[in-house]
A = this chain, B = another copy of it.
Amino acid sequence: MSIKETFEAHIFDLQNRICEGLEQSDSKGKFVEDQWQRKGGGGGKTRILNNGKVIEKGGVNISVVHGELPDLFKEKFKVEEASFYACGLSLVIHPTSPKVPTVHANWRYFEMYDKDGNIQTAWFGGGTDLTPCYLDEEDAKHFHKTNKNICDKYNPNYYSSFKKECDEYFYNSHRDECRGIGGIFFDYQKADETRTMKEIMDFCIDSGNAFLEAYIPIMEKHKHESYTEKEKVWQEIRRGRYVEFNLLHDRGTHFGIKTKGRTESILMSLPSTVRWEYNHKAESGSAEEKLIDVLKNPKEWV
Contact = CB atoms under 8 A, between A and B. Distances in A.
Nearest to A248: B247
A74 to B, nearest CB: 20
B272 A273 contact: no
A103 interface: no
A192 interface: no
A240 B278 contact: no
Interface in A226-281: 236, 240, 243-244, 247-248, 253-254, 257, 260, 263-264, 266-268, 270-279
Nearest to A271: B276
A261 to B, nearest CB: 9
Contacts of A48: 278-279
B264 A278 contact: yes
Nearest to A264: B279
A59 interface: yes
A98 to B, nearest CB: 16
A248 B263 CA distance: 12
B175 A270 contact: no
Contact of A275 (B273, B276, B278): B273
25 contacts: A48-B278, A48-B279, A50-B277, A50-B278, A59-B278, A173-B257, A174-B260, A174-B263, A174-B266, A175-B263, A243-B243, A243-B247, A243-B274, A247-B247, A248-B253, A264-B279, A267-B276, A270-B276, A272-B275, A272-B276, A272-B277, A273-B274, A273-B275, A274-B274, A274-B275
